[in-house]
Amino acid sequence: MVELTALQKLSAFLDPSSSVAGVDQQNAARIGERGADREAFLRAAEKPEDERKAIINRLAAKYHKEAGFEETEIGNAVDEFVRNIPSEFETTEQPETPQQLPQDQGVIGSLLNKLTERNEPNIAGRAKGQATDAVHSLQEQQFLEEFNDALEQGDQTKIVELIKNAETHKLLDQQLQLAHQHLDLLNPDELRLARLDGTTTDKEGKTITKVDNMRDEFTTQALKQAEKRKKQEERELTPAEKDAKAKQEAKEARLQAIAMDTNIKDPNRRSAAFHALLQERLAQTRPYSIFAEYYDQDLDGMLVPLSQLIQNQAQVRHRMALRQRQGVQQAVNQQSNLQNAAINAVQKIKGSKSRKGGLGSLLKGQLKKQLLSKFKKELIRKGLAWAFLSPPFVGEIVVGIILLIIIIAVIVIILFTLFSPQGSQEQQPSLQPTCTPENTCEQQLRDNGVSVRGDLSLNGDPYGKAKLVYDTLALITQSPSKFGTLLGIPAKPITLYFSGSACTGHASANGLVILSGFGACGTSVARFMLIHELSHEIAFRNPGLYNSFLNQFPRSSLTLPTYNCQFDYGVGPYPAECFADTLGEYPVYKTYRNIVGGRPSYFEHVFSSFITSFNPFYTFAKNNVYGGLEF
């Protein structure tokens, strides 16, 4: 009898069809109960070393009695497995697969080869599957290499052939079909591309599908664009053009580096970079040329945002078309109204002329010239007052027109100023960085339109809350922030009332803000509470700004991981709370994320990802409220 090692015994136990000599075959009957462990054993070689050790250790500990070795030998089995995989399972013969396994299959490839060599049907089947996958992977690599070569050589026939045969790029078909739906909205060229319906035959009489046809068309377009680009590149560029091009390329390279950097763990960052890159490219080219550019990269996951981008572009163009149509309609109507007005006016003038020979005759021919000439001379000689008071009346009309236009302009400006939906432009609050001495904070706040009521003491400081409010307001209203202007202080007063101990807040449309437990939960929380509630006041006083927020962040896309945005009022997200949290987090995001009882859960306790993962919210606050001021 051959003396088996612990690992061999374990292998034989978990793999009953093994031909290793000396194994008690009765174990074979029990193997069905241990399918999962057997699977784990066979796949252990694929795992990283630590995980591999853990698996073998567990299996050896569990089955050492049944496999016939001592508990003390478990460690040996583990060491041996880790150490002996290459020699134990390696074979010099190649498996019966369509193609040699790629090198990166490594240990698992060797293991599967060995198992296949044993001619065990079930294991060989899995090995074949693995090998097929590997071959597909290899084919894909080959495809990409050939595609790149063909693209460089401008071999259109080869490219079309490659694309048609690229069975592994099924996602492209889906994306192309999706693009097809939206391309219906695009320009005539793209419409032509999109309307290649049904099946047709190529030059050789072979039936090709719509998608094939689109691919041909798409490839043709891409190549045309490539040629055009090449010609443009060959042209001598001016220094300014070279500089602009270099900057653009550097910018795109940075974005692409981020998008393709698999070491970056935050997918949102990569996605954002990829979107930004596409936007840059889209600004220069048509969508299908971008498609062409990225098709030769293994970016299946990124084709989804690309498709969304195409969709968005289509929608934007469609909306522009609708607006144009409405604009044309309005222009037609306005033109019609103007014509009617002109006809009415002419008819009135004609009526006047027929009765008294009025303006119609007076403004014609030589008389008109004489009158204007006389008026001009008199105006110069005697000034406007004379012209206004003296005949002929032409001078009066001219001066009257000027005065009337000025008066109307002034009235329109006043009306627009008073009734602007964005709120009137009030005087900016003027707050120093801090208030000293502290007992003047209350008065200084009042001077800026903010009254503080209730218990002002905080942590033994009798004016602590007033000072905290002052410092916070001074921080967020400093130039160039528009926070104070949007809030409307000092013209539209705010009253802050401090009560209770729980850290809650409430804002009313009449300017009353109740803050409970202000400062009791820490400075960051207090600042957030105050800014959050004041942001409600901004919404009350600037409905257009709130509507802009809704336009940019419809309810279904509100995703700030803050309690008020997601849970307040029950189920959330509620736009007004998300609006207030957007403005509230902006100055404090580096130190505080608004959560209650750990909700909503998120990977970071502070909110440092606000500026990256939630950049549109950050940018909204920065541009629309804080005037570019950063904290």
Please count the CA atoms within 13 angstroms of the CA of 213 that sit on its side-chain side: 18
β-pairing, 494-499 with 450-454? parallel
How far is the CA of 319 from the CAs of 195, 313, 323, in angstroms? Answer: 21, 10, 6
Structure tokens at 355: 């009765």
Smallest separation, CB 112 to another protein (Å): 48
Residues 508-547 that bind another protein (CB under 8 A): 508-509, 514, 516-517, 521-522, 524-525, 528-529, 532-533, 536, 539-541, 543-544, 546-547
48 CB-contact burial (10 Å; exposed 0-12 / middle 13-18 / buried 19+): exposed
Q: Which of residues 268-297 bind another protein (CB under 8 A)?
A: none
Among 37, 296, 396, 461, binds another protein (CB under 8 A): 396
Helix (H, G, I), strand (E, B) or coil at 513: strand
Smallest distance from the beta carbon of 592 to another protein, in angstroms?
Answer: 7
Closest CB to another protein among residues 125, 522: 522
Closer of 246 and 509 to another protein (Cβ): 509
User: Minimum distance from CB of 9 to another protein (Å)?
Assistant: 55
Number of shown-chain residues binding another protein (CB under 8 A): 82
Q: Smaller CB distance to another protein: residue 181 or 430?
A: 181
Q: Which residue has the tokens 């377009």?
A: 221
Nearer to another protein by C-beta: 557 or 601?
557
Q: Name which of 449 and 575 has its Cβ closer to another protein.
A: 575
Residue numbers 132-151 binding another protein by CB under 8 A? none
In this chain, which of 142, 148, 422, 425 binds another protein, going by CB under 8 A?
422
Question: What is the Rg, in whole angstroms, of the alpha carbon atoms belonging to the chain?
Answer: 39
Please say which residue, 333 or 479, places its beta carbon nearer to another protein.
333
Residue 420 Cβ vs another protein, minimum distance, rounded to whole Å: 8
Contact indicator for 20, 8 with CB cutoff of 8 Å: yes
From the number of C-beta atoms within 10 Å of its C-beta (0-12, 13-18, 19+), residue 416 rates as exposed
- Three-state secondary structure call for residue 362: helix
Q: State the minimum distance, in angstroms, from the CB of residue 306 to another protein.
A: 18
Residue with tokens 């502290």: 438
Candidates 95, 449, 490, 505; binder of another protein (CB under 8 A) is 505
Residue with tokens 């962040």: 553
The one among 367, 397, 402, 413 contacting another protein by CB under 8 A: 397
CB of 345 to another protein, least distance (A): 5
- In the shown chain, the binding pattern of residues 423 to 452 toward another protein, with x for contact by CB under 8 A and - for none, equals x-----------------------------
Structure tokens at 14: 């978990």
Q: Does residue 406 belong to the site contacting another protein (CB under 8 A)?
A: no
One-letter-per-residue 3-state SS of 194-259: HCCCCCEECCCCCEECHHHHHHHHHHHHHHHHHHHHHHHHHCCCCHHHHHHHHHHHHHHHHHHHHH
Nearer to another protein, 21 or 408 (CB): 408
Report the residue number, 254 or 323, with the smaller CB distance to another protein. Answer: 323
Q: How far is the CB of 327 from another protein (least distance, A)?
A: 10
On the 0-12 / 13-18 / 19+ scale of CB atoms within 10 A, 388 is middle
For the chain, what is the largest distance between any 2 Cα atoms, rounded to a whole number of angstroms? 138
Among 400, 433, 462, 616, binds another protein (CB under 8 A): 400
Dig out the tokens for 219 from the structure: 């490839």
Tokens of 21: 């000599």
Contacts to another protein from residues 81-110, by CB under 8 A: none
Tell me how far CA of residue 19 lies from CA of 6, 36, 127, 149, in angstroms.
16, 21, 18, 49
Tokens of 169: 């790029």
Residue position matching structure tokens 């607006």: 323
Residue closer to another protein, measured from CB, 239 or 421: 421
Nearer to another protein among residue 442 and residue 577 (C-beta): 577
Q: For the CB of residue 611, give the shortest distance to another protein in the complex, in Å.
A: 19
Q: Tell me if 515 sits within 8 A of 501, measured CB to CB.
A: no
Contact set for another protein, span 317-376 (CB under 8 A):
318-319, 322-323, 326, 329-330, 333-334, 337-338, 341, 344-345, 348-349, 352, 356, 358-359
> For tokens 């090995």, what's the residue?
127
Stretch that binds another protein, among 70-78, 168-176, 294-302, 503-511 (CB under 8 A): 503-511
Contact between residue 226 and residue 159 where contact means Cβ atoms under 8 Å apart: no
CB closer to another protein out of 78 and 310: 310
Query: Closest CB to another protein among 106 and 358?
Result: 358
Residue 569's region, left for phi above 0, alpha for psi from -120 to 50, else beta, is: left
User: Minimum Å distance from CB 525 to another protein?
Assistant: 6
Residues 541-580 that bind another protein (CB under 8 A): 541, 543-544, 546-547, 550-551, 554-557, 563-564, 568-569, 574-577, 579-580
